[in-house]
Amino acid sequence: MAKKTLPFTKEQIEDIIKKYPTPFHVYDEGAMRENARRLVKAFSWAPLFREYFAVKAAPNPHLLKILNQEGFGADCSSMAELVLAERTGITGEMIMFTSNDTPAEEFVKALELGAIINLDDITHISYLEKNAGLPEIGCFRYNPGPLRGGNAIIGTPEEAKYGFTREQLFEGYRLLRDKGVRRFGLHTMIASNELDNRYFVDTARMLFDLVRDISKELDISFEFVNLGGGFGIPYRPEDSAVDIEFIGDEIGKAYDELIRKKGLHPLNIYMESGRMITGPYGYLVSRVLHKKNTYKNYIGLDASMANLMRPALYGAYHHITVMGRENEPAVREYDVTGSLCENNDKFAINRMLPEVEIGDIVVIHDAGAHGHAMGFNYNGKLRSSELLLRPDGTVELIRRAETLDDYFATLEFPVGKR
């Protein structure tokens, strides 16, 4: 069971709103750091453990900086994400470039930054070499395809567009070895929002087995495995968070059995989580503009799916707290909507909540990953601001809200000139 708490009181959030109007996302720095430290500690047995934060989850340099201070690197997959890492001061092998269908200029930039380039396909070896040069480290993304015995939890990776087949891995590493590459890594990422602890242990075992097979066959040694992302978070109160200590311990045992005892030590353990790192520590704060009763009861917020599109996109559950009514009984069923001219612009459907009044502050939980990041301008919606709640209780604006001038800035038309 995940307890849905808030890092601020009603009085505190009202004070914040006086300075920064709703809607906005606010991130809890203290809780984010605490979680980051827990993760690092859970893998402290590894020769070197490093989490590369998947920038796409929350691409704000202030958040990247905080995570970098906790020892995290950046997992990037586009030009803008590479430049964001660079401008935050994250360069070299603190960047993992895990992209697919990659344009040449992004490989050039990644190589220029000294990033670890994690290739998605065997044809990208020659494409990279031709357009940017040979990488220092040969690292490939593995797609295990149709299930091979012993792994019950991985879904249907053969349907995923990502990664090399097993045969292609051998061929690819051989090719790079013969070209003189001496450092190697292996990556996989097959799950998303996975809450089953065993999945992550199974994934590590699969990679450890593969490291052994490839090392033996090609007489190369691996520097690291990258376990990917996909750690789920308990969006629903009845969900349980992944047990990061259990996962760390179990992967540690697998490491002893499959790596240390086989003479493959040392092997660094990398990870590239996004959701688990910022998701639970970001909140979308909005205000009730309207109440409407027709065939259903509606609450209309000043936020819309342009601020958080996961419910509309995936039917995802996001917990909702009505400030000041935490202890009132949930007596009424509401659809909680935004103002977009799309009927799926709903944060919740048939949600039991306390009796809500116009002007109430509504907080949507677990909006710290793929929340603001997925924002868009459809229907003339301007992207909202992002705030950072410091451990000392002060609040800092880390991204201002867009203005109408931002909205019109890219138009080749003399708007507004009369």
List active site positions. 341
Kindly state the helix (H) or strand (E) to which residue 4 belongs, with its residue range. none
Q: Smaller CB distance to ligand PLP: residue 272 or 360?
A: 272
Candidates 2, 21, 45; CA nearest to 403 is 21
Tell me the closest approach of the beta carbon of residue 61 to ligand PLP, in angstroms: 18
DSSP state of 231: B
Tell whether residue 73 is a contact of ligand PLP (CB under 6 A): no
Residues 166-205 as x/- pattern, contact with ligand PLP by CB under 6 A: -----------------------x--x-------------
Candidates 404, 385, 390; CA nearest to 302 is 385
Residues 328-367 as x/- pattern, contact with ligand PLP by CB under 6 A: ----------------------------------------
Tell me the closest approach of the beta carbon of residue 148 to ligand PLP, in angstroms: 22
Whole-angstrom Cα distance, residue 412 to residue 49?
49
Beta bridge partner(s), residue 283: 26
Q: Which of 273, 286, 321, 385 binds ligand PLP (CB under 6 A)?
A: 273
Q: Which of 274, 280, 311, 338 binds ligand PLP (CB under 6 A)?
A: 274
Q: Smaller CB distance to ligand PLP: residue 120 or 360?
A: 120
Tell whether residue 54 is a contact of ligand PLP (CB under 6 A): yes
Q: Which two tokens stand for residue 209?
A: 């087995």
* 340 Cβ contact list (under 8 Å, min separation 6): 304, 305, 306, 378, 379, 381
Whole-angstrom Cα distance, residue 142 to residue 165?
6
Alpha carbon 67 to chain centroid, angstroms: 13
In b/e form, how buried is each residue of 195-232, taking b as 16+ CB within 10 angstroms? Answer: bebebbbbbbbbbbbbbbebbeebebebbbbbbbbbbb
Q: Which two tokens stand for residue 315?
A: 């039917």
Tell whether residue 235 is a contact of ligand PLP (CB under 6 A): no
Tell me the closest approach of the beta carbon of residue 46 to ligand PLP, in angstroms: 19
Q: Smaller CB distance to ligand PLP: residue 246 or 298?
A: 246
Only segment of 49-57, 170-178, 334-342, 376-384 that touches ligand PLP (CB under 6 A): 49-57
Q: Smaller CB distance to ligand PLP: residue 106 or 272?
A: 272
One-letter amino acid for residue 385 of the chain: S
Tell whether residue 16 is a contact of ligand PLP (CB under 6 A): no
Cβ 135 vs Cβ 118: under 8 Å: no
Helix 29-42 to helix 244-255 angle (10° resolution) is 20
Determine the residue with CB nearest ligand PLP: 229
Q: Smaller CB distance to ligand PLP: residue 109 or 141?
A: 141
In b/e form, how buried is each residue of 333-348, taking b as 16+ CB within 10 angstroms? Answer: ebbbbbbbeeeebbbb
Tell me the closest approach of the beta carbon of residue 2 to ligand PLP, in angstroms: 17
Whole-angstrom Cα distance, residue 287 to residue 380?
19
Q: Which of 28, 29, 75, 81 binds ligand PLP (CB under 6 A)?
A: 75
Residues 378-407 as x/- pattern, contact with ligand PLP by CB under 6 A: ------------------------------
Only segment of 22-30, 197-205, 224-232, 322-330 that touches ligand PLP (CB under 6 A): 224-232
Tell me the closest approach of the beta carbon of residue 37 to ligand PLP, in angstroms: 18
Kindly state the helix (H) or strand (E) to which residue 182 belongs, with its residue range. none
Candidates 34, 28, 47; CA nearest to 267 is 47
Q: Smaller CB distance to ligand PLP: residue 125 or 189?
A: 189
Tell whether residue 321 is a contact of ligand PLP (CB under 6 A): no
Q: Which two tokens stand for residue 47?
A: 């020769």
Q: Which two tokens stand for residue 191?
A: 């799950």
Q: Smaller CB distance to ligand PLP: residue 252 or 274?
A: 274
The binding site for ligand PLP (CB under 6 A) comprises 54, 56-57, 75, 98, 189, 192, 228-231, 272-276, 369
